[in-house]
Amino acid sequence: MLGALDVEQPAGWNDELELVAAVDVNPDPDIVEVELEAAITDIEIVPGAPTPAWTYNGSLPGPLIRAKLGDKIIVRFKNSLPEATSIHWHGMRLPNHMDGVPGLTQKPIAPGGEFVYEFEARDAGTYWYHPHIDSAAQVGRGLYGSLVVEDPADSEAFGDELVLVLSDLSIDESGQFLAEDAGGEFGDLFGREGRVLLVNGKVLPRLKVRQGKQQRWRVINAARARYYSIQLREHTLTKIGGDNGLAARSMQTNRIVLVPGERADIVFTPSDAPGTVRTMQWIPTERGFGSLYNRPREDMLEIETVAESPVTPAAIPELLREIEPIDLANATERTLDLTIEMETTRHGREVVMGINGEPYWLSKPMEAQLGETQIWNITNATAFAHPFHLHGYFFQVQDDTRIPEWKDTIDVPSESSLRIAVRFDERPGVWMYHCHILDHADSGMMGHLFVAGEGEHAHMPHIELIH
């Protein structure tokens, strides 16, 4: 039998899934320079009833930006939306003033305004970009795109790469967006899951595979609230990494849950017999109060195993990367309690979410000194799960049952707690952390951290926080 490395993917294997690629306008092989314009574009999701999506360069998702380890990335951004926006580079270790958080790291980019983002591709991995103003609404309408930093040293056995951006859209049968506050306080509490599921901007696209011929899936959950579980009976999934590139070891599994903002790097080994068509479904995931109740599965992606003879899968290395545990000898401890309160305000009854009881707009910054290592004890006594995300730094989850990897987004299930260790080793400034269910973030479950530079006091200048 032929081996996986001796054959190509089936003809047209990714035709329905290929993302629009960002065009690199810079001839320097070590600089990736692209132009991005945010604008409203009609996209046909419901046949015959275009949706006025919010897009980057007119595509949904936005263009895939691809760089190799060590490249410089320059993004010339123009805002042609009717509202102010910004771009945050989720997971990238970049200088603070490039982080794209209006109010903290830059001014909002007004309609007609421009901004040049410039940073280095320091870490191989799968990243993504999205606005950081009115995020639930702007991301929910389609503003997100992927960014892949390749490591030329990666094993060939991982297979041909396929970037999968998972998202959903809150549109009705005529393709129009539902009101931003649809569902009222329940929408805030549960987070708004769109009615239409998209994989790379398409409804139920089809992927072609050949039995035994591996594909490397870089999966990104770009939905504003929805959890995804990647689960495929009969086929084999091997998780090789996530947020920040490769994990310490590969692991064969039959289920990978991705919370909003999180990424997974998976080697997919097709195991169905030639001629099989199987549908990968969205499967309800436990994320607290009522999230499993009465939820049907939904079709997401069709996988057609073509009628070519099977090949022998390549052997995936077990050891992938050296990941040194963060030295906790002088670590200081912090407590972050994710909180939800119902408050009666002059607008009526409102859901106010926060951290340690304070919504973002009333919060005091956490503080750290450059070089300091901290352990964050994150507790979640609420009835809902919260995907916790930190900007600017990767952390290590303190849990011996997990394969070591660097993370920037992690689920904190309802009624549970976890410990993350993070070293603020460089790049002083003001960094965000928040729940990545964007309805929760907008309801106040966000905070900011001031990392004081050398000789600076761990005390932040006063900033008026944007509500």
Give me the least distance between CB of 383 and Cu ion, in Å please.
11
- Under rule CB under 6 A, residue 34 binds ligand C2O: no
Residue 329, classified by CB atoms within 10 Å of its CB into exposed (0-12), middle (13-18) or buried (19+), is exposed
- What are the angstrom distances between the C-alpha of 206 and each of 12, 64, 201? 10, 20, 13
Please select the residue that binds ligand C2O; options are 235, 391, 423, 427, rule is CB under 6 A.
Answer: 391
Give me the least distance between CB of 312 and ligand C2O, in Å please.
39
Contacts to Cu ion by CB under 5 A: 90, 386, 391, 435, 437, 440
- Under rule CB under 6 A, residue 432 binds ligand C2O: yes
Which residue is at the shortest CB distance from ligand C2O? 90
Query: Residue 127 is encoded by which pair of tokens?
Result: 């990243």
Residue 435 site contact among Cu ion, ligand C2O, none (CB < 5 to 8 Å, cut-off depends on kind): Cu ion
Nearer to ligand C2O by Cβ, of 423 and 434: the residue is 434
Please select the residue that binds ligand C2O; options are 88, 141, 213, 239, rule is CB under 6 A.
Answer: 88
Give me the least distance between CB of 223 and ligand C2O, in Å please.
11
Cis peptide before 61 (omega within 30 of 0): yes
Give me the least distance between CB of 91 and ligand C2O, in Å please.
8
- Under rule CB under 6 A, residue 66 binds ligand C2O: no
Nearer to ligand C2O by Cβ, of 375 and 435: the residue is 435
Map tokens 């904190």 to a residue.
Answer: 412
Enumerate residues 6+ apart whose C-beta is below 8 A from 242.
126, 262, 263, 264, 265, 405, 407
Count, residues near ligand C2O per rule CB under 6 A:
10
Give me the least distance between CB of 129 and ligand C2O, in Å please.
8
Choices 189-197, 304-312, 327-335, 430-438 (CB under 6 A): range interacting with ligand C2O: 430-438
Site string for ligand C2O, 260-279 (x = CB under 6 A): -x------------------
Across-strand partners of 311?
Answer: none
Give me the least distance between CB of 438 and ligand C2O, in Å please.
8
d(CA 425, CA 432): 16
- Under rule CB under 6 A, residue 237 binds ligand C2O: no
Residue 386 site contact among Cu ion, ligand C2O, none (CB < 5 to 8 Å, cut-off depends on kind): Cu ion
Q: Is the dihedral of CA 173, 177, 182, 188 positive or negative?
A: positive
- Under rule CB under 6 A, residue 427 binds ligand C2O: no
Residues binding ligand C2O (CB under 6 A): 88, 90, 130, 132, 261, 389, 391, 432, 434, 436
